[in-house]
Amino acid sequence: MEIVMIKKLGCGPCKTFEPIVKAEAEKRSLGFRHIMQEDMPEEIRPPYFPYFYLYNDGEVIEHWGGTSDRKLEKVLDRSLNK
C-alpha cells in the first residue's frame, strides 16, 4: 500500500502535516510520496489541500483531505484491517 499526498506550493498546512503522514506511513510499512498540484491537470486536482489517496495494488481504496491526525489514523486502521 502507498499513501500519495497532493500538496500545493506555499501551503502551510501541507508543510506541517507532511512529516506526520510520512512517520505514520513508515510506522505501518506503507509507501509514501507527494505530488504537487501544479504538476497535475486542472480537471483532476482535488478540492482542497493537502489531499490524500491510499493505493493498494494500483487502485485507490481511500481518499480524504485535511490535516486531522485522528482522521489519518482512522482511515489507515480501517483500510489495513480489511
Which of 43, 33, 41 is CA-nearest to residue 7? Answer: 33
Which domains does the chain carry?
2-80 (3.40.30.10)
Cβ atoms of residues 14 and 43 within 8 Å: no
- pLDDT one-digit tens code per residue, 18-38: 999 999 999 999 999 999 999
User: Whole-model pTM?
Assistant: 0.92
Q: Taking residues 42-59, report their average pLDDT.
A: 93
**Among residues 65, 74, 54, 63, which one has the least CA distance to residue 8?**
65
Q: Residue 15: which H helix or E strand, with range?
A: helix 12-27
Strand partners, 68: none
Q: For the chain, first and last CA: distance in Å?
A: 13
- pLDDT bin (cut points 50, 70, 90) of residue 6 is very high
